[in-house]
Structure 1
Amino acid sequence: MLFRSLRHVLRWTAPLLIAATSLHASAQTTLRIGFQKSASLLTLQKSSGSLEKKLSSLGVAVKWVEFPAGPQLLEGLNVGAVDVGFVGEAPPIFAQAAGARFVYIGFDPAAPEAEAIVVPKDSAIRTLADLKGKKIALNKGSNVHYLLVKALEKQGLKYSDVQPVYLPPADARAAFERGAVDAWVIWDPFLAAVEKQSGARLLQDGRGLVNNYAYYLAERGFAQQHPQVIQALFDDNQAQAAYVKANVKAAAAVIAPLQGLEPEVVEKSLTRYQFGVKPLTPAVAAEQQKIADAFHALGLIPKPTRVADALPATTVAEAAR
C-alpha cells in the first residue's frame, strides 16, 4: 500500500521535479565572447581558463566564439551569436551605421605601432605618394581602414586615388605574397608575421595618424542585465594584462602555438600593444566620432552616425555595484 501511494506521488511530482531541474539549468548564465585569434590577451585568457575559474563562483559558464576579423565579429554580435566582443576602431562604426545594436563597454589604450601599410621588400614603392593608382589589400571595415584613409590624406591623396581590394587577413597575405596587390594594410600579429617571414617593408604605421584603440562591445540587454559578469571579465583582463607586460617572452611562448606563429613574432607584436581595459572616456568617444564623420564624408557609410547613441548610461564598474 505504501509502495502504491509513493508511486502515485511520484507519478504526479516527477514532471514537476524535471521542470524544476530544467528551469535551474536554463537559468545558468553563459557569457559568449567573440574574439579573434589575433587578439593576444583574449587568446591568453581563453587558454589559461582564468576567466572560467573567476566566473564559476557566479554560476556563469563561458563560451568562446572565434571570428576572422572585427566586421564578422560585429555581425555575430548583432544576430545574437555572442554577448561581448573585442574589435578595433572601425568595425563598430560600420556596424552602427548598418543598424546594429550594441554598447561600448570599455577600451584598450592606443597602439598606433600595431598596424601599418606594408609593401614587398623589393617593391618600387618608397613613399605614400607612390601608392597612387595601386592595389591595396585591407579587410573592409576593420581598424586599418581608417589608417589607410589618414595615410592618404597626409600625402594629399584621395581614397579614390587608390584601388582598395577588400580581403580578410589570410586571403590578403596570399594576394600580397603572389603580387596580386601592391600593398597591404594590416594589424598585429599578422603585421609582425609578414615582416619576419616575408621581409615585408613597413611603409607607414599609425604613429602620428591614428590612435588604433581597441574596444569591448556588448549586446545592450546583456550589458544591462549582467554588469557583474562583464566586470569579472575586465578584472581577469587586467590581471592577464599585468602578467603580459611583466613577462612578455613567457607570454609569447604560451600564445604563439595558439596563434600558429613563432614566439619571436608574437613577442614583437606584444611589445606594440598597450593592454588593460579602461572605462570609455568622453575624449576617446570623441576620437571615435571623428572616424565616423570621416567615413561618412567619404561615402563609406550611408548616413551620419552618432557614437553617443551606442554609449552606456553608466560604466561597467558603476553598474556592477
Structure 2
Amino acid sequence: MTDETLWRIAPSRRSLLRTGLGSAAAVALGAPAVHAAPRDVKISMQRSSVLFTVLKVKGTLAERLAPLGFTPTWHLFTSVIEPMNAGAVDIHADVADAVPIFTQSAKAPLTFYARERGAPSAEAIIVPDESPIRTIADLKGKTVGVSRGSGSHYVLAAALKRDGLTLGDITPTYLQAPEGAVAFEQGRLDAWSIWDPFLAFAAAKRPVRVIADGSGLTSYHRYYLVNDSFAAAQPEVVATVYRALAEAGAWMKANPVEAVALLAPIWGDLPPAVVAAANSRRTYAVEPVERAQLGEQQAIADVFYEAKLIPRRIDATAVPIFAIPPGRG
C-alpha cells in the first residue's frame, strides 16, 4: 500500500469529529483534546509503610497512575483499623497479619491485593537490658505495652499461651506505637511488644533485650488491602499499585545504602545503623495473595477469639482476593 492510498482512505479530522468516532483518533490526528482532571486515589500509610514511603518520596506511583487518570493522595494514620473499617481511603498500605482479623470480624468490605513475605524477627517483646525479666513466664503480673489489634498483640498473646499464661496473667497497657515508645523509654512499662521500625527506635534509645520475637509463633506477613468497591471498579489501578510496590521492594534490597539515606530523615534523622537494622529484618518481597497460604491467619483468628479480642469465630481464609493479571505479577 502506497502513501497516496493511505492518504485517500484515512478519515478527515472533520469527519471524525462529526461522526463521533472518539477522542483517541482525533488526538492521533492532532485535534485539541479536553482531558478530565485526575481523580484522587486515597492511600493510607503508617510509619512502618516503607514501600509506600519509597513510592511517595520518589514520585513513582504518581507517575504510574497519571496515564490512568489518577493521582495518589497520602493519608498517615497511627492506627489503621478504624479507617479500614470505615472505608475512609481507597487503597490501604501494609498491615500486620493480625489486623485483617479485626477488620474481617467487623465485616469491613476489604479485598487482599498483595502481601509482603514473612519477617518474624521484625516484631518482638522487649525489656530494658537491666530488667530481671528473662522469659515470657517472668511477665506474670507485669505491665506490658502493646497496640491493640496489631501483629505484636498476637505475638504477645501467642507467646503467653505457649508458656501456659493468658493476657489475664499480665497487665496489658494498650498504647499506640508512638505512645508506647515514650512509655517504654520513661520506664513506665516492664515490657513492650512492638514491631519495626519502632523496635529499632527503642533499641537506639536504650539497651534492650528481646525475650521473644515472632519466630515459632508467626511468619509476620504484612498484607495490603483495598476497598472491595474500588477493586471492582478500578482493577488496573490496583494492579499498577501492586507492580509499583513489588519494584520498590526489589529496589530496597538491591540498594540498601540508598534506602537508608531515603528513610533516615523521614524517621527523624536516625543513625544509619538503626535504619539499616530495621530494614534488615524485613523482606520487602511483595507477592500475590493465595488462599492456600492463609492458614496462619486462621491460627491468629483462633487465638484472638479464645482471648476474647474478637466477638465471634471467623473463617480467616474466606476473604476476597484480588487476582494479579497474568504476566504482571
Normalised by the length of structure 1, the TM-score is 0.87
Task: Give a deviation string over 1:247-301, Cα, whole Å, max 9, x none.
Answer: 1122011111112133221111111001132111223222112211221122110
Q: How do 1:114-153 and structure 2 match up within 5 A?
A: 114-153=122-161
Q: 2:47 is matched with which residue: 29, 37, 46?
A: 37
How much does 1:74 deviate?
2.8
4+ runs deviating over 6 angstroms: none
Kindly tell me the number of residue pairs found equivalent between the two proteins. Answer: 295
How much does 1:173 deviate?
1.4
CA contact (8 A) 2:185 2:202 kept: no
Q: 1:216 is matched with which residue: 219, 224, 228?
A: 224
Q: How far, CA to CA, are the matches of 1:37 and 1:45 in structure 2?
A: 14
Unaligned runs of 5+ in 1: 1-20
CA contact (8 A) 2:166 2:307 kept: no
**Whose helix proportion is higher, 1 or 2?**
1
1:263 maps to: 272
1:76 maps to: 83
Q: How do 1:88-127 and structure 2 match up within 5 A?
A: 88-127=96-135
1:279 maps to: 288
CA contact (8 A) 1:137 1:183 kept: yes
- Say whether residues 1:239 and 2:247 are aligned partners: yes
Amino acid paired to 2:256: V
Q: How far, CA to CA, are the matches of 2:81 and 2:325 in structure 1?
A: 24
CA contact (8 A) 2:90 2:230 kept: yes
Q: What RMSD over aligned residues (CA atoms) do the two structures have, in Å? A: 2.1
Which structure has the bigger radius of gyration? 2
Amino acid paired to 2:296: E
Task: Give a deviation string over 1:20-75, Cα, whole Å, max 9, x none.
Answer: x99944xx43221111122222111111101111111111111111111xxx3232
SS at match of 2:193: strand
Amino acid paired to 1:35: M
Q: How far, CA to CA, are the matches of 1:22 and 1:133 in structure 2?
A: 68
Q: How far, CA to CA, are the matches of 2:83 and 2:35 in structure 1?
A: 27
- Say whether residues 1:301 and 2:322 are aligned partners: no
2:70 maps to: 60
Q: What's the % identity of the aligned pairs?
A: 38
CA contact (8 A) 2:84 2:103 kept: no
Unaligned runs of 5+ in 2: 1-32
CA contact (8 A) 1:138 1:184 kept: yes
CA contact (8 A) 1:77 1:84 kept: no
Q: How far, CA to CA, are the matches of 1:38 and 1:246 in structure 2?
A: 19
Q: How far, CA to CA, are the matches of 1:172 and 1:216 in structure 2?
A: 24
